[in-house]
């Protein structure tokens, strides 16, 4: 007993002393705050205590979360930052998060609890273990640098980029941040292998040469930088790239910089313009056009099509109009030039000095420049600046939305001054600084929506500067830090901060807001109509101005009222006290009014365009208001007017009486004039009596047949009167021109115009539907065969023969055994072995010198066959509404259909070889209905060669093929994007055959020698599914194409086939890159 106690004491002493020696060697602290660590298989909580002591921070954790052991060994000394980074990485490996609260670090398993890390610009400023550092990238691309760094950091770290300010924002442990900083210093260095060259163009504009050169050089770039910057004024093109690419580009530019040749004309891309002068004579306009052509040729105008279109000018005396021929684009440009030339003459102005200039904007939208020019013109007039020519050019400046250009007309010196002014406007906005804001009361999405809503209201009311609007448009959400990033100048950022402080509060959204020194309040109209509230507030304002002149601030706030049509709201500006008084006043006016039932009216313009009619009605209503006419109902109906560009129609709402008044106004204003003749699409001979209509979506024979049927019905219903109809006569003259797929007819102008509208209503695009069919066919077969065949024969001196056997009918073994005798001994071919397990024997013994014999034979057969077959077919097809589409996939198999033999002096044999389609055939006709319902008429046939059949062709014999065939013919209604079953078939066949000797074959165990069992189980299943997908837009078609491409790529089965698939698809996508 004493020995046991002594042994325990010695063991405990050794463990204690080893523990002391271990801890004495675990940590060596040097005088420079570096450490060498030697922990082996210690608890994670112990290591946390060590880090807490070394780094002088407090940890808060649950001991159960740290139930792990670790080993930390360091050959060289490490710093505090490295120790803390090691702990953070260990916690991340075990799915633990570290959250800082003052000087306390909380270890938690909850991934949803996050904290905004300390934001630094230098590692020297870091105080926390996890920091967010902002890097300013100067040379390399921010996106490329982010792509390089992402694989190098852990998944929980975060990288965000700001393209506008070229900033890289990284959140990670301080040690990783230091390594990333070193890497960025190397990558974002000032050393640049690129070169800069210039090319001076001779025959073409640099911008034109730039586009052509980029397309040609695209395959040669291979990821290298290649930047072209044109300067059309100096005819210089700057090239920034590697020396080898610059050398190739200069060679290409020399070949491209040649004089442009005239464009080949064809009827398909040409249009006709008829223009009748209104204010100028034929000679004046023709002279002005010739001068414009000469100026354009001297200045090297890039749009040579305009010059060619002007050269086609012809004067038609009968209609007193000009005739031009050109493309749609050049016709539009020439039409704008004619409108400017054919303006009313000013007797104080010398027309010979008038010219025009088209300024192409590069950095900002033309809408902003147009607004700034209007403000500039007002300021110049208010300050009595004596430069009427410049003011006139600025007031006439027009923004051309299609090309983002400003059209200037006037005298040359005034245009030059206006160009210099626009150049000052057309500069890129500078993003000098940025701010990050974390919402306190609102969510990020709500705060973003509120800021954008305020920006729209301010822009509509004209109370915000463009820089503020641009900064709000460039807002970026940083979800990792739950904050919003803004970029802009210092003054703009201060305005944004003031705006955010008024929005991110606990009070309601209707609170008075402040922007700079301006107080404003936005009221959303709820019940009353805008015209009712506006008239009520204006009436109150007039009465207060007459009665009480002391409330100037309140009256001024009422007068500042502006209605924002886009948001159906009112904006007021003024002092806070006056805005507080307006609140209860406007809420009393915003109530439901009792009025008669409202209706709506949709009008399709006949001669004027939709925007022109909208402008005419708006100006008409404003004129009536200024003259004192009170008709609020009609004014309100006009204010609800909405133009739909897709349907080319105007929509009005109001009571029935008001709608009738609007209809009369539309009939009054929508009449043909010189600019909008009754039919501008009719072109033909001198009397303009021919109509040539180019069909867009259908074959000409189909449209022609439909029109002929309409004419036939009119003749039947109207009798002889119908034959005399002008429309019927015009339809009878219709001829289909197959080459251009156009319809040609003759008739007077009014009749051909009606016929054009009729053809246009028939020639509409059909909807398309993407149809997916899934066919699954499975076969399960189980065959079992077991039995014993035996027999015996005996012959005695050629005098008697005896035999016994249990051979089944048709047994090949029995046939072979039956031929055995005293003279016919067994041969190898007599024992026929088949599939499966076979064991057989045949013997023949001879006696009495061959006159007697004894033959014995037996064959044991055992075979089990299990077969499983699965066939999955997914035919897919895109079909048009009411159009039949067919798809077949399979083989065309030959077989001998007939053999004909003619026998005479010679024998002539004729064989007829026929073919049969074996595979999957699908014929489908979709009919699209309302509510996204699709009616499908489907004829599906699936055939395959039956296994085990012989389809080879043998000469002189009629040999057919045996196929398995599945057909389905049905018509169903299927909702859009629904996956439905069309048909299914389950076939289960079981067969059991037992042959044997009566009585003996039924004896247990022994009966196996006198019987044979054959069992066969077969199950065939087939099911067919379908899913239609209606294609409503080009985006739907693109999405389906990309999804099917990804699906077929994944189904290739190997990386080699996947690469082959990508290479094949890239060949057809190559034009997209160019």
pLDDT average, residue stretch 344-368: 66
Distances (CA, A) of 494 to 433, 458, 488, 504, 1073: 11, 17, 10, 15, 43
Return the top range by mean pLDDT from 54-68, 80-94, 873-887.
873-887
Which residue is it, tokens 């307006």?
582
Q: What is the DSSP-derived secondary structure letter of residue 117?
A: P
Write out pLDDT tens, residues 794-842. 666 666 666 667 666 656 666 666 666 656 666 655 566 655 556 566 6
For CA atoms 155, 157, 162, 167, the dihedral sign is negative
Is residue 365 domain-shared with residue 284, that is, in the same domain? yes
Q: Are residues 926 and 779 part of one domain?
A: yes
Query: How is residue 889 written in tokens?
Result: 């996939």
What is the pLDDT at residue 908?
A: 79
Q: Which has more confidence, 725 or 891?
A: 891
On whether the CB atoms of residues 840 and 833 are closer than 8 A, the answer is yes
pLDDT at residue 429, rounded to an integer: 58
Q: What is the pLDDT of residue 510?
A: 45
Of 195, 199, 209, nearest in space to 238 by CA:
199
Q: How far apart are CA 92 and CA 98, in angstroms?
A: 9
Asked if 456 contacts 522 with a C-beta cutoff of 8 angstroms, the reply is: no
Are the beta carbons of 215 and 223 closer than 8 angstroms?
no
Question: How far lies 775's CA from each of 14, 139, 686, 937, 981, in Å?
Answer: 76, 57, 63, 17, 10
Say if 5 falls within a structural domain.
no
pLDDT tens, residue by residue, 1008-1017 = 666 777 788 8
Instruction: State the average pLDDT for the chain.
Output: 75
Which CATH number fits the domain that encloses residue 178? 3.30.1370.120
51 and 81 in a single domain? The answer is yes
Residues 786, 637 within the same domain:
no
Residue 123's pLDDT is what?
65
In whole angstroms, give the CA distance from residue 282 to residue 935: 61
The whole-number average pLDDT for the span 949-961 is 58
Q: Is 683 inside any structural domain?
A: no
> What percent of the chain is modeled with pLDDT above 70?
75
Kindly report, residue by residue over 456-467, the tens digit of the pLDDT. Answer: 777 666 655 777
DSSP code of 152? G
- Yes or no: say if 293 and 307 are a contact pair by the CB < 8 Å rule: yes
Q: Could you list the residue range(s) of the whole structural domain that residue 148 is in?
A: 116-190
Asked if the structure places residue 380 within a domain, the reply is yes
Count the domains in the chain.
9
Residues 741, 845 share a domain: no
Structure tokens at 177: 């941040």
Residue where a domain stops, chosen among 765, 793, 814: 765
Q: Could you report the per-residue pLDDT of 957-981, keeping only the tens digit for each?
A: 556 678 888 888 888 888 888 888 8
CA dist 91 and 129 (Å) reads 13
For residue 1, the model assigns a pLDDT of 47
Domain limit, last residue, from 113, 134, 152: 113
What pLDDT is attached to residue 307?
80
Does one domain contain both 920 and 839?
yes
Residue 685 lies in a domain: no
- 177/233 same-domain check: no
Question: Which is more confident, 355 or 618?
Answer: 618
What SS3 state is found at 668? helix
Answer whether residue 677 is part of any domain.
Answer: no
pLDDT band at 283 (very low <50, low <70, confident <90, very high): confident
**Both 886 and 937 in a single domain?**
yes
Pair 891, 829 in one domain: yes
Same domain, yes or no: 1010 and 1060: no
Give the pLDDT score at 794: 66
Instruction: Give the least confident one: 314-328, 507-521, 742-756, 905-919.
Output: 507-521
Does 582 fall in a domain? yes
Residues 6+ apart with CB under 8 A from 704: 734, 736, 743
pTM greater than 0.75 (yes/no): no
pLDDT at 811: 66
Whether 347 shows a pLDDT value over 80: the answer reads: no
795, part of any domain = yes
Query: Quick one: pLDDT at residue 16?
Result: 38
- CA 588, 594, 597, 602 dihedral sign is negative
Q: What is the predicted pLDDT for the residue at 406?
A: 86
| Separation CA 493–CA 482 (nearest Å) | 19
Is 1028 found in the same domain as 1038? no
Residues 819 and 961 in one domain: yes
Least confident of 26-40, 41-55, 903-917, 1018-1032: 26-40
| Of the residues 137, 161, 190, the one at which a domain ends | 190
Better-predicted residue by pLDDT, 20 or 957: 957
* Residue 873 within a domain: yes
675 or 642: which leads in pLDDT: 642
């Amino acid at each position: 007993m004493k020995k046991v106690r002594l042994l325990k004491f010695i063991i405990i002493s050794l463990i204690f002393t080893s523990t002391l020696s271990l801890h004495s060697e675990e940590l060596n602290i040097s005088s420079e705050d570096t450490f060498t660590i030697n922990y082996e298989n210690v608890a994670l909580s112990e290591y946390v205590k060590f880090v807490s002591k070394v780094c002088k921070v407090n940890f808060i954790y649950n001991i159960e979360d740290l139930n792990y052991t670790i080993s930390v060994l360091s050959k060289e000394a490490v710093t505090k930052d490295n120790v803390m980074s090691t702990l953070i990485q260990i916690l991340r490996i075990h799915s633990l998060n570290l959250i800082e609260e003052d000087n306390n670090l909380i270890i938690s398993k909850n991934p949803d609890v996050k904290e905004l890390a300390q934001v630094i610009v230098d590692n020297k400023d870091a105080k926390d273990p996890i920091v967010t550092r902002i890097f300013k990238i100067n040379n390399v691309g921010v996106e490329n640098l982010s792509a390089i760094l992402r694989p190098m950091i852990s998944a929980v770290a975060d990288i965000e980029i700001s393209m506008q300010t070229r900033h890289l924002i990284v959140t990670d442990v301080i040690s990783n941040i230091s390594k990333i900083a070193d890497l960025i210093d190397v990558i974002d260095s000032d050393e640049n292998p690129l070169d800069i060259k210039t090319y001076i163009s001779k025959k073409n504009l640099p911008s034109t040469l730039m586009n052509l050169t980029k397309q040609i050089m695209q395959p040669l770039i291979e990821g290298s930088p290649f930047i072209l910057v044109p300067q059309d004024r100096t005819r210089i093109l700057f090239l920034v790239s590697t020396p080898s690419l610059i050398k190739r580009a200069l060679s290409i530019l020399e070949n491209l910089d040649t004089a442009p040749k005239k464009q080949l004309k064809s009827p398909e891309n040409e249009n006709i313009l008829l223009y009748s002068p209104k204010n100028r004579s034929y000679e004046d306009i023709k002279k002005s056009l010739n001068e414009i052509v000469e100026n354009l040729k001297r200045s090297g105008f890039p749009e040579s099509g305009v010059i060619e279109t002007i050269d086609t000018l012809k004067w038609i005396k009968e209609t007193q109009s000009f005739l031009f021929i050109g493309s749609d684009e050049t016709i539009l440009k020439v039409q704008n030039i004619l409108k400017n030339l054919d303006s009313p003459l000013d007797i104080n102005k010398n027309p010979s000095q008038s010219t025009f200039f088209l300024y192409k904007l590069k950095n900002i939208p033309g809408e902003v420049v147009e607004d700034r020019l209007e403000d500039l013109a007002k300021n110049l007039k208010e300050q009595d600046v004596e430069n009427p020519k410049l003011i006139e050019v600025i007031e006439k400046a027009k923004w051309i939305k299609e090309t983002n250009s400003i059209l200037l007309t006037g005298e040359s010196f005034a245009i030059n001054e206006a160009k210099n002014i626009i150049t000052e406007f057309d500069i890129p906005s500078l993003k000098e600084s940025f701010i990050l804001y974390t919402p306190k009361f609102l969510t990020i999405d709500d705060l973003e929506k509120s800021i954008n809503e305020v920006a729209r209201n301010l822009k509509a009311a004209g109370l915000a500067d463009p820089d503020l609007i641009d900064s709000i448009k460039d807002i970026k959400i940083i979800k990792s830090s739950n904050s919003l990033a803004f970029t802009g100048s210092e003054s703009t950022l201060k305005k944004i901060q003031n705006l955010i402080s008024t929005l991110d509060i606990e009070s309601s959204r209707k609170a008075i807001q402040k922007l700079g020194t301006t107080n404003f309040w936005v009221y959303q109209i709820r019940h009353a109509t805008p015209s009712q509230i506006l008239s009520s507030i204006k009436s109150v304002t007039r009465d207060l101005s007459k009665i009480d002149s002391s409330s100037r601030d309140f009256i001024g706030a009422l007068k500042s009222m502006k209605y924002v049509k886009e948001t159906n709201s009112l904006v007021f500006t003024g002092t806070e006290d006056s805005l507080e008084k307006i609140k209860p006043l406007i809420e009393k006016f915003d109530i439901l009014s009792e009025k008669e039932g409202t209706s709506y009216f949709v009008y399709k313009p006949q001669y004027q365009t939709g925007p022109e009619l909208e402008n005419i009605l708006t100006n008409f209503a404003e004129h009536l208001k200024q003259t004192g006419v009170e008709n609020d109902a009609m004014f309100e109906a006009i204010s609800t007017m909405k133009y739909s560009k897709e349907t080319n129609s105007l929509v009005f709402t109001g009571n029935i009486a008001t709608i009738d008044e609007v209809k009369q106004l539309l009939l009054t204003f929508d009449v043909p004039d010189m600019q909008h003749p009754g039919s501008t699409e009719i072109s033909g001979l001198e009397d303009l009596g021919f109509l040539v209509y180019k069909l867009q979506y259908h074959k000409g024979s189909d449209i022609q047949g439909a029109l002929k049927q309409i004419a036939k019905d009119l003749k039947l219903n109207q009798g002889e009167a119908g034959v005399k109809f002008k429309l019927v006569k015009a339809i009878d003259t219709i001829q289909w021109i197959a080459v251009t797929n156009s319809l040609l007819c003759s008739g007077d102008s009014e009749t051909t115009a009606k016929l054009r509208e009729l053809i246009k209503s028939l020639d509409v695009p059909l909807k398309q539907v993407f149809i997916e069919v899934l066919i699954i066919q499975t076969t399960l077969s189980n065959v079992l065969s077991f039995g014993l065949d035996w027999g015996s024969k005996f012959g005695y001196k050629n005098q008697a023969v005896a035999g016994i056997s249990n051979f089944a009918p048709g047994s090949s073994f029995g046939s072979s055994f039956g031929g055995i005798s005293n003279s016919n001994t067994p041969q190898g071919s007599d024992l026929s072995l088949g599939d499966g397990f076979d064991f057989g024997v045949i013997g023949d013994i001879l006696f009495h010198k061959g006159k007697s014999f004894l033959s014995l034979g037996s064959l044991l057969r055992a075979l089990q066959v299990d077969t499983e077959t699965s066939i999955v077919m997914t035919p897919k097809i895109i079909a048009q509404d009411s159009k039949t589409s067919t798809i077949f996939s399979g083989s065309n198999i030959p077989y001998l259909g007939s053999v004909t033999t003619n026998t005479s002096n010679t024998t002539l044999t004729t064989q007829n070889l026929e073919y049969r389609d074996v595979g999957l055939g699908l014929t489908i006709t979709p009919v699209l209905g309302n509510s996204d319902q699709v009616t499908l008429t489907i004829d599906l046939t699936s055939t395959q060669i039956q296994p085990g059949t012989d389809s080879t062709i043998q000469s002189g014999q009629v040999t057919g093929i045996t196929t398995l065939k599945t057909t389905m013919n049905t018509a169903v209604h299927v909702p859009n994007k629904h996956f439905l079953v069309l048909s299914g078939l389950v076939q289960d066949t079981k067969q059991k055959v037992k042959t044997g000797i009566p009585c003996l074959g039924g004896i247990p165990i022994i009966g196996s020698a006198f019987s044979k069992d054959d069992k066969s189980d077969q199950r065939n299943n087939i099911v067919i599914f379908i899913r239609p997908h209606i294609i409503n837009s080009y985006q739907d078609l693109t999405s389906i194409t990309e999804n099917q491409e990804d699906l077929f790529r994944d189904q290739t089965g190997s990386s080699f086939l996947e690469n082959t698939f990508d290479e094949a698809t890239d060949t057809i996508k190559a034009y997209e890159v160019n």
